[in-house]
Amino acid sequence: MLKHFLLVGFVIFYNRYLIMMSDSRLYEKVVVFSKANNLILFAISTIVSVVLVVGAYMSLQGSMYRFVYSISKILMQISKFLINLICVYNLYFWFSLHQNFIHDISYLSLMIFYELLIATCISVRFVDFNYHFQNTLVLSISLALISILFVTFIGPVYMA
């Protein structure tokens, strides 16, 4: 989890100080991109999730389990990073612009990455029976809940 926060911090530093992009411009670009491509990303994520879970189940009969395990772990790290990115940017944009980022890009954007995370956890569990995917899911879900609850309920009360 710490490595994802460090990567998100680097992304924020890169956007803010290295390429000198203003927060409002970045916010606008991400919201426009997300609204234009949410359904396409959801369809791709659903297809990848189904193929991954079916492939993991079918690899139990053959010798492809190492390949499926590797792909699942890579996609799991990517989805955890993107969930952390969205949640941290939600708090970042709340403090800098007083905008609810997750609400503006739609909650479907967050659910796309949760779908992929759950599918990768299931496929890793098929291959490795000792993998405790509950820890991964609880950390990611709690981060999103903290971010959403703060920006939606706690932030407006104390920042007003």
Q: What per-residue confidence (pLDDT) applies to 160?
A: 63
Q: Alpha-carbon distance 156 to 105, whole Å?
A: 19
The whole model's pTM is what? 0.90
pLDDT value at position 94? Answer: 92
Handedness of CA 35, 40, 43, 44 (dihedral sign): negative
Q: Tokens 């944009």 — which residue? A: 93
Residue 29 belongs to domain spanning = 2-159
Structure-token pair, residue 146: 């903290």
Q: How many domains does the chain have?
A: 1
Contact at 8 Å (CB) between 122 and 56? yes
Query: What is the spatial distance between Cα 93 and Cα 131, in angstroms, rounded to a whole number?
Result: 35
Task: Could you list the beta-strand ranges (E) of 1-154.
Answer: none
State the average pLDDT for the chain: 89
